[in-house]
Amino acid sequence: MTAGPGGDWAERAFDAMAPLYDDFTAHYEYEFWTGQLLAVLEREGLQGRRLLDVGCGTGKSFMPMLPRGWQAVGCDVSTAMLDLARQKIGDAIRLEIADMRELPCFGEFDLVWALDDAINYLLSVEELEAALRGMRSNLAPSGLLLFDVNELLVYGFYAKGVEVERDGRRFVFQGNGMGEVEPGSICEFSCFETLPGGEGQATDRRNVSIHRQRHFTEAEISIAIDRAGLKCLNVYGHGTDGIPRQPLDSSAHTKAIYVARAA
């Protein structure tokens, strides 16, 4: 939990963010998005319905898979996030505390994925390689690996600040000293809920968490995939519509989607 740059900061960040997470992401269309990703995977030769969801958080990325007939195991570095997942599903699936940089072997899976920019919380290429090796060790012989990473456009949004309002509550993602973000940069931003102060008082902040993400270039990811003993099958990109397209266009896409298998 303390290996590599940043130590256990990601665990602390998501433990602090957990009370906000589901409300902050309530507008995300996981049912639609995971369906789009499945369509991509089926084109790449997906077989079977055993899923390992790495960085599963509160369960939003694996829950749409259960009605589709998938068996799932979820893991995350944050106990608080997993506690919220357990409140939703009880003992329906296996949930484990795990750091993706030191990922245990949970079994053989037809699909291993890490969604919602979980990979960007790795702060070096070495950490990326370690995480990919751990994911490869959980793949069945014909299994597929899928993960997404944020493109530079996202960090431009964070630098300006992103606000979400829901049921009278306001949630903010605000870049900390972020200017123009260069490829391969590490960015820091705060997430919090704002509470209006009384007359003449400043706005209060609640459940503040500090996040760091590294932007990975396509070349860095390609090298890490090879060094982890994987073969990249295809790269896709999509914008805020969540529909994967080719080729990846870093000037227009907010996310890159990588699909790989064991080499």
Q: By three-state DSSP, how is residue 71 classified?
A: strand
Check if the beta carbon of residue 159 is closer than 8 Å to that of residue 185: no
Contact 238, 230 (CB under 8 A): no
Domain check: are 71 and 170 in the same one? no
Measuring CA to CA, which residue among 165, 91, 123 is closest to residue 3?
A: 123
pLDDT, position 142: 97
Find out whether 146 and 39 touch, Cβ atoms under 8 Å: no
In a domain, 18, yes or no: yes
Residues in the chain: 263
* Domain with 158 in it: 153-214
Q: Does residue 147 lie in a domain region?
A: yes
Instruction: Clarify whether residues 96 and 70 are in a common domain.
Output: yes
Instruction: Give percent above pLDDT 90 in the chain.
Output: 83
Which pair of structure tokens corresponds to residue 229? Answer: 């003993």
Query: Both 101 and 141 in a single domain?
Result: yes
Q: What pLDDT score does 195 carry?
A: 82
Residue 1 forms part of a structural domain: no
Secondary element (H or E) of residue 23:
helix 9-24
Residues 194 and 71 in one domain: no
Q: 119 and 158, same structural domain?
A: no
Long-range contacts, 24-28 (Cβ 8 Å, 24+): 24/164, 24/166, 24/171, 24/191, 25/60, 26/166, 27/164, 27/166, 28/60
Q: Identify whether residues 224 and 119 lie together within a single domain.
A: yes
Is residue 102 a contact partner of residue 129, using CB atoms and an 8 Å limit? no
What confidence tens digit (pLDDT) does each residue in 65-90 have? 999 999 999 999 999 999 999 999 99
Taking the CB of residue 109, how many other CB atoms lie within 10 A of it?
23
142-156 confidence digits (pLDDT tens): 999 999 999 999 998
DSSP-based three-state secondary structure for 61: coil
* Res. 157 pLDDT band, cuts 50 70 90: confident
* CA of residue 214 relative to chain centroid, distance: 12
Distance of CA 227 to CAs 115, 134, 232, 260, Å?
21, 12, 11, 13
Please tell me whether residues 190 and 238 are part of one structural domain.
Answer: no
Q: What is the CATH number of the domain that holds 61?
A: 3.40.50.150
Q: Is residue 134 part of a domain?
A: yes
Confidence of residue 198 (pLDDT cuts 50, 70, 90): low
Q: Domain check: are 78 and 205 in the same one? A: no
161, 174 in Cβ contact below 8 A?
yes
Task: Tell me whether residue 2 is in a domain.
Answer: no
DSSP state for residue 227 in the 8-state scheme: H
Q: Is the pTM of this model over 0.85?
A: yes
Q: Residue 84 falls within a domain, yes or no?
A: yes
CA distances to 26, 147, 169, 246, 259 from 132, rounded to whole Å, are 29, 10, 37, 23, 12
* 174 inside domain: yes
Considering its fold, how many domains does the chain have in total?
2
Check whether the bond before 5 is cis (ω within 30° of 0): no
How much is the pLDDT for 3?
Answer: 34
Strand partners, 149: 256
Q: Give the single-character DSSP code of 69.
A: T
